[in-house]
Amino acid sequence: MSNMGSRVLIYGGKGALGSVLVNHFKSMKSWVASVDLVPNEDADFNLILSESTLQGQSDQLKKLDDELQGSKLDAIFCVAGGWAGGNAASEDFVKSCHSMAMQSMWTSVLASELSSKHLKDGGVFTLTGAQPALKGTPGMIGYGMAKAAVHQLVASLAEPNSGLPSDSLVVAILPVTLDTPMNRKFMPNADHSTWTPLQFIAELFANWCSGVERPANGSLLQLFTKDGSTSVVPAEK
């Protein structure tokens, strides 16, 4: 595999998708850093975020400067996130908007900052949006809002003078439902053959790093899964 010897960072490296990514890139002999609230023991380097504010976490991430000593990363995959439902009349509306912003937007912002500093020219940077957030999401307003912000962030980062290294690729994956243990637990009777396997995403990302089927810069890539098979469909601009 041409990923051997590559250096990648997984933002959200202890989550369900993040853990699969860590293991996949480790199996390909990459050096793997994980950013999360808790360590991923399989990663080569862990950055633990204990601060609760955006600026505080940004400061904590500066430890990466010492570790990398100016060497660059081949890819940064931001797969942190979470889910909360609720409409504007929900008792937890404000709370859910805040937690969704922290889990999707702030992680994406901090991963963008890391990419501007540590990604190599021509490197790969992925963010995680959500297919439903391409339209209104009245039953999960905070979630949709935060994900729409991530979508627009990708559009900004893909343009010239965005602050990313030259020739880098920035895209977002837009899952509908990921096949995670948590989703299996809470939706045991759903049709799991329409959920996107995490391993599919790991292989997709590894391909992009190898230059295989690299999508257009700035793409919002919907992941549609049917009968266990996933297709990658760019959203129209």
Shortest Å distance, C-beta 157 to a copy of itself: 6
Would you say 8 or 164 has its CB closer to a copy of itself?
164
Cα angle for residues 113, 133, 111 (degrees, 5° grid): 10
Query: Is residue 133 near a copy of itself by the rule CB under 8 A?
Result: yes
- Report how far residue 197's alpha carbon sits from residue 230's, in angstroms, rounded to the nearest whole number: 8
Would you say 10 or 153 has its CB closer to a copy of itself?
153
Q: Are 178 and 129 in contact (CB under 8 A)?
A: no
Q: Token pair for residue 215? A: 């999508």
Selection from 52, 31, 183, 175 nearest residue 106 by Cα: 52
The DSSP bridge pattern shows strands 220-226 and 73-78 to be unpaired
Cα-based torsion angle of the residue sequence 108, 111, 112, 115 in order, rounded to the nearest 10 degrees: -160
Query: Is residue 151 near a copy of itself by the rule CB under 8 A?
Result: yes
**Interface of this chain with a copy of itself, residues 55 to 74, rule: CB under 8 A:** 55, 58
Query: Is residue 217 near a copy of itself by the rule CB under 8 A?
Result: no
Shortest Å distance, C-beta 72 to a copy of itself: 14
Residues noted as catalytic: 143
Residue ranges in contact with a copy of itself by CB under 8 A: 54-55, 58, 87-90, 93-95, 97-98, 101, 105-106, 109-110, 112-113, 115-117, 133, 135-139, 141-142, 144-164, 218
